[in-house]
Amino acid sequence: MERSDRILLAIQGMTCGHCQGRVERALRAVSGVTEVEVDLAAGRASIRGNADAEALVAASTEAGYPARVIE
């Protein structure tokens, strides 16, 4: 059975739909991700799957949008 944990990220620097799309694509590319929802207005992303939180933060940051895990 596949684990379906949820990780929440606070993401800085998103100002438009293009930014939102870049973050979403970067997060979806991380191994283990099954679902991504990026909320532009809130500056947050919700990720489901069994991906490593540090890998998600790194992917968003490398795409140009610094991120941190929300506890």
CB 48 within 8 A of CB 6: yes
Q: Is the pLDDT score of 2 beyond 50?
A: no
pLDDT in tens, 7-49: 999 999 999 999 999 999 999 999 999 999 999 999 999 999 9
> What's 64's DSSP letter?
T
Map out the domains of the chain with their CATH numbers. 5-69 (3.30.70.100)
How sure is the predictor about 4, in pLDDT bands with cuts at 50, 70 and 90? low
3-class DSSP state of 29: coil
